[in-house]
Amino acid sequence: MEYFLQQFINGIALGSIYGLIALGYTMVYGIIGMINFAHGDIFMIGGFIALIAFLCLVALGVTAVPLALFLVLIIAMLITALYGWVVERVAYRPLRHSFRLAPMLSAIGMAFVLGNFVQIAQGARVKPLPPLIPGGLILIDNGGFVVQVSNVQIIVVLTTLALMVIFSLIVARTRLGRDMRACEQDRTMAALLGVDTDRVISTTFVIGAALAAVAGFMYLIYYGVIDFYIGFVAGIKAFTAAVLGGIGSLPGAMLGGLAIGLIETMWSAYFSVQYRDVAAFSILIVVLIFMPTGLLGRPEIEKV
């Protein structure tokens, strides 16, 4: 029982990171109906920017860990948001009125560009970061197995929940959120009613990139390593989480991320770790067979 509880805690922390990345996927899909396949590499870039920003702050003499981490998070979000804005302007806006596959192919090309850019700029080797937040809470200690929640896991989960609540409120109660929902329902009609659809779409990409930066930062302090290839792997799994939860649904993206994280962790704990991805995608297929719109997705109504 203690072993199961420990793996459950680990799965919640991992799923929270997937959920943050999946939020970016589902926000973009909800507005323009396209999958931003460069989003995983935006997450990877956010992690690298966080590492570089931390090393620069240490070089400048900022030694207080809480202050350094706060500044690193702000810097990573701002710079990564700029990358998200560039992706929208370069890969999506010129092809917005083209045939449906064109923006998708452009985004895939942008993903390769970003991945190879980081590989050339930072090298292909794994970049380590020493543990910055030690300690944690011991939940069970029976003398044979200790169940604990590390401080890093607490920060990851609480940050994810806070961002989930904040952006849900933004979408539900602000003018920007109203404009987003209007563009989701009918972009042409929203434009006729005075909504600046270009601004709304760009802002959505910027917000999604900022969330990916937070996920990259959390991944860095949680695992302590980062490399140029994590964007592809984490991006595919986060996309799977968004589809599992119901693409276009913010709570669904978070629920899907938690589900993928728990499936991976539990499978790795009790079965062969080599087949954890097979288990995750197999469960996705089974869920979509019986629930084609995902766990919290809504059926799409065709306008005629």
pLDDT reported for residue 114: 92
Residue 106 lies in a domain: yes
Whether the predicted pLDDT of 148 surpasses 90: no
Specify the long-range contacts of residues 51-54, CB closer than 8 Å, at least 24 apart.
51/127, 51/129, 51/220, 51/226, 54/129
Residues 133-172 as b or e (16 or more Cβ within 10 Å = b): beeeeeeeeeeeeebebbebbebbbebbeebbeebeeebe
Domain hosting 100: range is 2-229
Tokens standing for residue 136: 């944690």
Q: Does 260 reside within a domain?
A: no
The pair of three-digit structure tokens given for residue 252, joined into one six-digit string: 């669904």
Q: Quick one: pLDDT band at residue 31, thresholds 50, 70, 90? A: confident
Compute the distance between CA of residue 219 and CA of residue 230 in angstroms, rounded to an integer. Answer: 10
Dihedral sign computed on CA atoms, order 291, 293, 299, 303: negative
pTM of the model: 0.90
Query: How many domains does the chain divide into?
Result: 1
Asked whether residue 250 is domain-assigned, the answer is no
Residue 300 lies in a domain: no
Cβ neighbours around 35 below 10 Å, total: 19
Decide if 280 is inside a domain: no
Count other C-beta atoms under 10 Å from residue 132's C-beta: 16
Query: Distances in Å between the alpha carbon of 48 and those of 37, 65, 195, 220, 262?
Result: 19, 18, 35, 8, 26
Pairing of strands 225-226, 146-150: unpaired
What pLDDT, in 10s, does the model give residues 56-77? 998 998 888 889 999 999 999 9
- Provide mean pLDDT across the span 296-300: 68
Contact between residue 24 and residue 39 where contact means Cβ atoms under 8 Å apart: yes
Do the domain assignments include residue 218?
Answer: yes
Q: What is the pLDDT of residues 213-244, one digit of tens each?
A: 999 999 999 998 998 888 888 888 888 888 88
Neighbours of 32 (CB within 10 A): 21
